[in-house]
Structure 1
Amino acid sequence: MNSEPRLPEHPLGDEPAGTADGVGGDGRDLPGPRGFFGRFFGALTGADDEGGAEPGEKAGPPDAPGMVNLRRMRVDDVAVPKAEIIAAPDTIALQELVEMFREHGFSRIPVYEGALDSPLGMIHLKDLALKHGFGHESDFDLRPMLRPLLYVPPSMTIGVLLQQMQQKRIHMALVIDEYGGVDGLVTIEDLIEQVIGEIEDEHDEGQDVLWLKEKPGQWLIKARAPLDQVEAETGLRLFEEEEDEDIDTLGGLLFALAGRVPEEGELIRHDSGAEFEIVEADPRRIKRVRMRLPAAEKAAETSEAARQAR
């Protein structure tokens, strides 16, 4: 059985013997500063200086893309939470699986037996299409088409995981907690986006918009929207960090205010004067929320009435 491929110690090739002070062994000048891929692999293997930035470069804010993130960010910083993982049971019918791929636009979906905490592997859209052509399901058998997944701890740095994905040619990983349960999901695209920024394709258009401003003082917001971004958009202070450091999304705030998972249609009022209407929810989580600022709405209506009266 072939062993797994290993990365060379120096990904860009061995350094020629006899080099010193920028001069090659044959007397030629060595190349100047490395390009993108040189810095990328240098940061990945730890060859660069601490921080991963070239001399004169700024590391940027903690959430900014950059190669410094390969060693600064952990897997749980970028993983999709367990509640948001789209996965399929091993008993799923062919047409249901096709519809799942169509609805979500993914190319890979994890497959489990019984519950997500018992994963079996992942199904690739290409394997499904090549074998069945989205045709009849009389001979449909999911398990032989499954590909392996990586299983990683939440504390692993994203650079180490990216290197493992490159070595093993497995581009999806499940984050496993201390008890062996599934805690999140990460793809190779999630990791690379932390280095070069957002990668959008034809299926990404409009899918990751966290909020929509419907009118002055009113927004339709996804519950997973980061709380600090909601505050920046609306201009309201909704949460003090010293209150509970575990709250970092709008849904988490509403859960804390209600003391339970709010029901669809429920109205929750905040001390700031903001009102939150639960637009979409299920028994386990909130999905979408309509946020209203009554004062802003009233000011906009007054302004509009004054304009029409002129």
Structure 2
Amino acid sequence: MGDSSDGSSNAAPSAQPKATAKSSNGFFGRIVKAISTSEEEVNEQAQTSHNPRPQTHGMINLRRMRVEDVAIPKADIIAVPSSITKSELVDVFRETGLTRLPVFEGTLDTPLGFAHLKDIALKYGFNGSGGEFSLSEMLRPLVFVPPSMTIGVLLTKMQTERRHMALVIDEYGGVDGLVTIEDLIEQVIGEIEDEHDAEEDQLWVMEAPGCYLAQAKMPLDEFEAEAGRKLTAHNDVDAEDVETLGGLVFTISGHVPARGEVVAHPDGTEFEIVDADPRRIKRLRVRFAEAQDG
């Protein structure tokens, strides 16, 4: 693993010319061009921008953001052991909605590669045919990168090597996080929603009286009107500074909560983080006090 990590950090610079030559007129070509822009030009672009508000995405992130800034923490990585059976593996794919899963031996610090749902479907189909199951024969290689690598260098490397997933390796050779090519591109063009993301038009659903499952981007005033509660009526919450449900939770907690974390509102309401990444909350469950008592 140590050799793979070193190779990841050394291979990226030499890969840039190839990527530029192949896609100089396309999206990745513009990305590579942005990576090669001098620091002075990037700073000048930021200073002369007509938009005074800081942007959460854009080409400038390719140079200023590092892998550790966008990687999924180790505790949140969904991975499977090499001893997993075919039916168990299919269940994990089905329950998570993921198409790629890291495979490890013993612990996650000994990764072997990753399993792709497409490979399972093509070889074994959906009716159990295809012979005896062998996960090791279908493993695809992972990219190993240090947390200090800029996301622009990693994006170029992943494009050149045609890899969609990378593991972040710490100084001791252990796994520290995971990043996908989608995570990197989102830092340039903004969030990418696919068929597994929550429906854009359905911002909330009532699971039970006093219990709601909602998207973090739901306007707070709309949620308050639906729930019949005023969540910004408390002294610790300034209504002028909060526009969305996720923004309210961020304000109360003072940080970006991790998946599974429960944040308590001053009035007793609980916010359970259902889906989140290191940068933002995506979905959460709201339980009012009466629902907790029930």
TM-score (norm 1): 0.62
How far does residue 146 in structure 1 lie from its aligned partner after superposition? 0.5
Equivalent AA in structure 1 for residue 270 of structure 2? F
Which residues of 2 match residues 267-306 of structure 1 at below 5 A? Answer: 272-276=266-270, 290=286, 292=288
- Decide whether aligned partners of structure 1 residues 51 and 216 sit closer, same or farther in structure 2, where only a CA change above 3 A counts: farther
Post-superposition Cα deviations, 1:44-73, rounded to whole Å, max 9, x if no partner, equal: 233582348499545875561101110111
Which of 108, 123, 130 is the aligned partner of 1:131? 123
Structure 1 contact 52–67 (Cα < 8 Å) conserved: no
Which of 7, 15, 21 is the aligned partner of 1:6? 15
Which residues of 2 match residues 210-289 of structure 1 at below 5 A? Answer: 210=216, 213=223, 215-217=227-229, 232-233=247-248, 238-239=252-253, 247-249=255-257, 272-276=266-270
Structure 1 contact 112–121 (Cα < 8 Å) conserved: yes
Which of 100, 112, 115 is the aligned partner of 1:108? 100
Greater relative contact order: 1 or 2 (C-alpha under 8 angstroms, separation 6 or more)?
Answer: 2
Unmatched runs of 5 consecutive residues or more in structure 1: 14-33, 220-227, 241-246, 255-267, 281-286, 295-310
Counterpart CA distance in 2 for 1:204 and 1:91 is: 30
Unmatched runs of 5 consecutive residues or more in structure 2: 1-10, 201-213, 232-241, 275-282
How far does residue 39 in structure 1 lie from its aligned partner after superposition? 3.7
Q: Which has the larger radius of gyration?
A: 1
Structure with greater proportional helix content: 2
Counterpart CA distance in 2 for 1:269 and 1:107 is: 34
Post-superposition Cα deviations, 1:240-267, rounded to whole Å, max 9, x if no partner, equal: 6xxxxxx54277986xxxxxxxxxxxxx
Structure 2 match to 1:308? none
Structure 2 match to 1:203? 196
Structure 2 match to 1:187? 180
Structure 2 match to 1:43? 34
**For this pair of structures, how many residues does the alignment match?**
236
Structure 2 contact 124–131 (Cα < 8 Å) conserved: no
Counterpart CA distance in 1 for 2:26 and 2:130 is: 50
Counterpart CA distance in 2 for 1:144 and 1:10 is: 30
Counterpart CA distance in 2 for 1:52 and 1:137 is: 58
Structure 2 match to 1:176? 169
Worse-matched range after superposition: 115-124 or 75-84: 75-84
Structure 1 contact 79–185 (Cα < 8 Å) conserved: yes
Structure 2 contact 71–179 (Cα < 8 Å) conserved: yes
How far does residue 187 in structure 1 lie from its aligned partner after superposition? 0.4
Structure 1 contact 59–66 (Cα < 8 Å) conserved: no
Q: Secondary structure at the match of 2:20?
A: coil
TM-score (norm 2): 0.65
Counterpart CA distance in 1 for 2:198 and 2:251 is: 30
Post-superposition Cα deviations, 1:58-95, rounded to whole Å, max 9, x if no partner, equal: 58755611011101111122111222211111011111
- Decide whether aligned partners of structure 1 residues 139 and 155 sit closer, same or farther in structure 2, where only a CA change above 3 A counts: same
Counterpart CA distance in 1 for 2:272 and 2:76 is: 18
Post-superposition Cα deviations, 1:75-127, rounded to whole Å, max 9, x if no partner, equal: 12211122221111101111111121122222211101111111100011121
Counterpart CA distance in 2 for 1:168 and 1:6 is: 9
Q: Secondary structure at the match of 1:238?
A: helix
Computed over aligned residues only, the root mean square deviation of the Cα atoms, in angstroms, reads 4.0
How far does residue 11 in structure 1 lie from its aligned partner after superposition? 2.0
Structure 1 match to 2:206? none
Structure 2 match to 1:117? 109
Equivalent AA in structure 2 for residue 205 of structure 1? A
